[in-house]
Amino acid sequence: MKPPREQLKEFLRGAVNVHAEEELLRKLERGTPLRVKLGVDPSSPDIHLGHTVVLRKLRQFQDAGHTAVLIIGDFTALVGDPTGKKKTRPQLTPQEVEVNAKTYIDQVSRVLSSERLEVVRNSTWLKPLPFYELVKLAAKMTVARFMERDDFSKRYKEGVPIHLHEFLYLVMQAYDSVEVKADVELGGTDQLFNLMVGRDLMRDSGQEAQVALTTPILTGLDGHDKMSKSLGNHIGVSMDAFEMYSRVMSMPDSIMKEWYTLLTNLPMDEIDRLATKMHPKAAKDRLAREIVSGFHPGKADEASAEWDKKFSKKEVPDDMPVLDVPAEIGIVDLVMLTKIPPSKGEAKRLIEQGGVELDGQKVTDLKTMVKVTDGMILRVGKKQKYFRLKVLK
């Protein structure tokens, strides 16, 4: 292991908050591997680059010789994390959670090492937990403490219902830390309150409190909202190399430094040079290669060459018209906005015959719903008329 202060410096890179930094240093100075907890609720089947920010931080701890404890929240997912929600989250069925959990484990393995990794499901201890034990845990916390959360206080002031099970979610997530005896818990900045509840419960249970370390929320491809599949501004970790590369190349220049910092291991002085002194296209190419290589080893050159062939070597004009479109639109309606086909019937035939591409990918399914991000490139017709898409504000 590296000296404690060197480790601490590495762990702080890209971190927004380390609650009890001195405590973390003392834990590192003991010289024994730490147990570093990350809880993920399989509330949806896909993981995108935004999720990998905290996963990469967990990998840092692994590479430094510590144990990653990945908790698959198959029980808490049945309840639903209320964090950031303006209303109660719909509850999932056990079947939905199980399907999502299997895909999560597969996708998470693309970031984490199989060494020094414990993967556990919190249903192991939460499902058999007697009700009176849950009541005893809840008795250690207060409603006033939970109402300090912005989302709960806003909902209360606006008269939006807060259901009892949403409070219990925090109790159960905190109990996960007690059960696995976490030294450190990781989470996004939106999870800080939850992590602190775990810290309190560990102390009340007679354990040494965990250190809470949070990472930033990654900005999505639109350049302003957080990365989200529902907003269509994401890059999924299971996307193929070309699509992943193409999406990175469509990002606005303004978020390049953030992405370099949170999604690569490059030194900060090199990141500063790439983000501020190199031509944006070349800087994006380097960033796209770094990201693709992490999920598709050996495929970055091929993806770059394919993108270059389709979008750089005059197959795509530099000055193409900008098409203002809704954030989500059916492919037929999108093609009609170009005013190239004279009717919907012609638009459908054009699509089915392979005459429509989005970011170099043919779209032939008439039922396709397009989640638009700024900079996407639409090609329509045999004469290859190109449009750069822009989301209507």
Whether pLDDT at 251 is above 60: yes
Please state, in angstroms and rounded to a whole number, the distance separating the CA atoms of residues 236 and 243.
9
- Are residues 208 and 90 both part of a single domain? yes
- Residue 300: the pLDDT is 95
- Are residues 97 and 204 both part of a single domain? yes
Q: What is the per-residue pLDDT across 15-44, written as a single tens digit (0 to 9) for each?
A: 877 778 899 999 999 999 999 999 988 777
Residue 21 maps to a domain: yes
- Are residues 374 and 247 both part of a single domain? no
- Are residues 266 and 143 both part of a single domain? no
Which of 311, 338, 371 is the last residue in one of the domains? Answer: 311
What range defines the domain where residue 345 resides? 322-391
Confidence of residue 353 (pLDDT cuts 50, 70, 90): confident
Paired strand residues for 37: 69, 185
- Residue 208: the pLDDT is 95
- Residue 308: the pLDDT is 84
Whether pLDDT at 313 is above 70: no
- Among residues of the chain, what percentage have pLDDT more than 70? 94
More confident call, 188 vs 86: 188
Whether pLDDT at 61 is above 90: yes
The total domain count for the chain is 3
- Are residues 341 and 302 both part of a single domain? no
Give the domain CATH number at 30. 3.40.50.620
- Are residues 146 and 186 both part of a single domain? yes
Pick from 53-57, 176-180, 366-370: least confident: 366-370
The beta-carbon contacts of 18-22 under 8 Å, at least 24 apart in sequence, are: 18/211, 18/212, 18/213, 18/214, 19/192, 19/195, 19/196, 19/199, 19/211, 19/212, 19/213, 20/209, 20/211, 20/212, 21/211
